[in-house]
Amino acid sequence: MSTPHFNLAVLISGNGSNLQALIDACASSALPNTRITHVISNRKAAYGLERAKKASIPTSYHNLVPYKKKHAETLDGAQVARAEYDADLAKIVLNLDPRPDVIVCAGWMHIVTPDFLNPIAEADIKIINLHPALPGEFAGAGAIERAWQAFQKGDIKRTGVMIHEVIAEVDAGKAIVTQEVPLREGESLEDLEQRIHGIEHELIVEGTRRTLATIKR
């Protein structure tokens, strides 16, 4: 096999089914000459860590709680803790060898601040995120359920999935790829979630591919 030209670091917080889609894509022609060189989770119990280990991908666990405890008595402690956590997260990424070309947030449930984004941008590392909604809609956590509830109220007829660039404002970065998902009368939230997850698994690979294609070697 030719030496991979592109390195990915993947950030997760949970099951890791989107990470698995990327693992499988790197092993196929879907993401040629590309490898996942590190997985970072902010939750110890994230099953995605097991998926990474099964694929022999190095992992790191980086949790916010020790930072919150350290600054519990600090003025604006929550903000200071988050800033320190994010700065350390950037150091973890920048100390990786090989350094990633792209960081993929695949169910990463932590809002990163400029304390993370700025050092990453200075190192010319791109960062993208999977979000189960369309640009400008349902930003933040719980997007699928919020869209399903809006459909029940008759407010919308479709939702969607996007891969977008990560900026300080949550889920507001430039869309790289989007796909609309029509909503169906009588469909349960669970069934909608399954339908959307299937689309996510395809879009996270396509969004990563398009991002890698912009990298000048």
Ligand X SMILES: NCC(=O)N[C@@H]1O[C@H](COP(=O)([O-])[O-])[C@@H](O)[C@H]1O
Ligand Y SMILES: Nc1nc2c(c(=O)[nH]1)N[C@@H](CN(C=O)c1ccc(C(=O)N[C@@H](CCC(=O)O)C(=O)O)cc1)CN2
Q: CB-wise, 4 or 68, nearer to ligand Y? A: 68
Q: Which stretch binds ligand Y (CB under 6 A): 30-38, 84-92, 101-109, 149-157?
A: 101-109
CA distance 40 to 62: 7
- Show the tokens assigned to 208: 């990563």
* C-beta of residue 31 within 8 angstroms of C-beta of residue 19: no
Q: Contact between 112 and ligand Y (CB under 6 A)?
A: yes
Is 131 assigned a catalytic role?
yes
- Closest distance between ligand X and the C-beta of residue 150, in Å? 16
Residue 83 Cα to chain centre, angstroms: 19
Task: Tell me the torsion sign for CA atoms 85, 86, 89, 90.
Answer: negative
The residue with tokens 């997850």 is: 197
Q: Which does 200 bind (CB under 5 to 8 A by kind): ligand Y, ligand X, none?
A: ligand X
Q: How far is the CB of 160 from ligand Y (least distance, A)?
A: 13
Residue 109 interacts with ligand Y (CB under 6 A): yes or no = yes
Choice from 66, 140, 187, 194 touching ligand Y (CB under 6 A) = 140
Among 100, 160, 173, 207, the residue binding ligand Y under the rule CB under 6 A is: 173
Question: Facing residues of 163 across strands?
Answer: 130, 177
**Residue 5 Cβ, how far from ligand Y at the closest point, in Å?**
27
List the catalytic residue out of 38, 62, 71, 131: 131
Instruction: Name the site residues for ligand X (rule: CB under 6 A).
Output: 12, 14-19, 48, 106-107, 130-132, 141, 143-144, 197, 200
Residue 112 binds which one of ligand X, ligand Y, none, with CB within 5 to 8 A depending on kind?
ligand Y
CA 16 – CA 73 distance, rounded (Å)? 35
Query: What is the distance, to the nearest Å, from the Cα of residue 122 to the centroid of all Cα atoms in its chain?
Result: 20
Nearest residue to 104 via CA among 211, 213, 214: 211
Give one word for 135, left, alpha or beta, with left for phi > 0 and alpha for psi -120 to 50: beta
Binds ligand Y by CB under 6 A, chosen from 45, 65, 123, 168: 168
Minimum distance from residue 109 beta carbon to ligand Y (Å) = 4
3-state helix vs strand vs coil in the chain, percent to 5: 40, 20, 40
- Give the active site residues: 131
Contacting residues toward ligand Y, per CB under 6 A: 105, 108-112, 129, 131, 140-141, 166, 168, 170-171, 173
